[in-house]
A = this chain, B = another copy of it.
Amino acid sequence: MENFVFEYPTKVYFGKGAVKSYLSSELKKYGETVMLAYGGGSVKRNGVYSEVLSVLGECGKKVVEFSGIMPNPTYAKVQEGAALAREYNVGLILAVGGGSVIDCCKIVALQANFSGDVWEEEIEKHSFPAAAPIPLGAIVTVSGTGSEMNGGGVITNEDKKIKTGLFAAAPRFSILDPEYTMSVPFPQVMSGTFDTLSHAMETYFGYPNEDNVSDDIGEAVMRSVIRNMRVLLKDRNNYTARSNLMWDSAMAENGVLKIGKKTDFEVHMMEHQLGAYTDCNHGMGLAVLHPVYYRHIVREGLPKFVRFAKNVWEIPAEGKTDVQLALAGIDALAAFIKECGLPSHLTELKMKDSPEKLLTDRALEEIAYSTTILPGSYKRMTGSEIYEIFKECM
């Protein structure tokens, strides 16, 4: 894919060398103090940190560092960042990393300017904090979450044992250089990319079922992800595949696929609780859950699963009943997960805590409750069916 500049809710600068070409023009729009936010230090090893710091220096910015943002970022980390942003009267937060860093910074940006507590306001009072967030820019080093073009941030509240989406503002701009993704460990590239496929599927497998061009576009994104993940299996640093996958990540979760749709997102809700209890890798948790969950809802969503088998996996319909064809599509997804080196069982994953801990009434009710706010699902999940799904995932 060629380099491009494209305006959306977020202005996207995409392509090789985009930080050098565009960051300084964006920095000029904001105040003199920039909060440079990143994760565990990989941005220092791969050179991105020094590249960004050098542009910040050339633009005469004062830099406040906010580092150590973890995968599955915690609400405590959000509060730490918000306090720092307030203390230094930050004019721009620059999130350098993947979805965890960007998600965390979105909520930091809102919490810093909100006198109340964001979690309490959004999750408990079901209200939106009356505050204008600090402007946010993102420099993406690993893609998949789609955080680069939307306003959601997934945060883990360790005290409450809940991992869920909070909402703030989308980044004002995001810089996406596919070359940056080449320094990311390969299993993380594949698990991040599976998150993209998951987003497209979560939206596709949901009501309404009437003819909708968004479903056609969803199939296009899914086929692109599958084809380009297969390219990476043979040629890890193929730039064309890396760039397609980076743009697929943004397209899968920037709202285009959701137009006219209600969406499912049940697998994300289950994985979020898994993450809250075990600190499980997000994409790997999704990879385990998707085929198992889909076998539970295949009859309720039969026409869409038939279409998925034919249009995404190109499985011939001849000689198969609709149920056989639908199940063959789910089997193709499960086989692809294995082909990509992603897990099929939770026991294959290294986790901080046993997933068995999740199988409590409270955790299951939390997930079952989430269904009530997701009106697009083909089948309303009960706590006991979620229990069965997790048992089958072990």
Contacts and interface: CB of A to CB of B under 8 A. Distances in A.
A11 to B, nearest CB: 10
A79 interface: no
Contact of A224 (B213, B227, B240, B259): B213
B228 A211 contact: yes
B210 A221 contact: no
Contacts of A256: 256
A33 interface: no
Interface in A209-232: 210-214, 216-217, 219-221, 223-224, 227-228, 231
Question: Which residue of A224, A227, A231 has the most chain B CB atoms within 10 A of its CB atom?
Answer: A224
A253 to B, nearest CB: 14
B248 A213 contact: yes
A165 interface: no
A373 to B, nearest CB: 17
Interface in A254-279: 255-256, 259-262
A213 B1 CA distance: 8
B4 A259 contact: yes
Contacts of A261: 2
Contact of A240 (B1, B211, B217, B223): B211
Contact of A213 (B8, B208, B244, B262): B244
A9 interface: yes
Interface residues of A, number: 37
Given A6-B259, A259-B4, A216 B212 contact: no
A4 B262 CA distance: 10
A261 B244 CA distance: 12
Interface in A229-248: 231, 240-241, 243-244, 247-248
Contacts of A9: 7-8
A2 B206 CA distance: 13
Contacts of A1: 210, 212-214, 259-260
A261 B1 CA distance: 8
A251 interface: yes
B213 A251 contact: yes
Interface in A1-36: 1-2, 4, 6-9, 14
15 contacts: A2-B260, A2-B262, A4-B259, A210-B240, A211-B228, A211-B241, A213-B221, A213-B224, A213-B251, A216-B223, A216-B224, A219-B220, A220-B220, A247-B259, A256-B256
4 closest A-B pairs by CB:
A1-B260, A216-B220, A213-B224, A220-B220
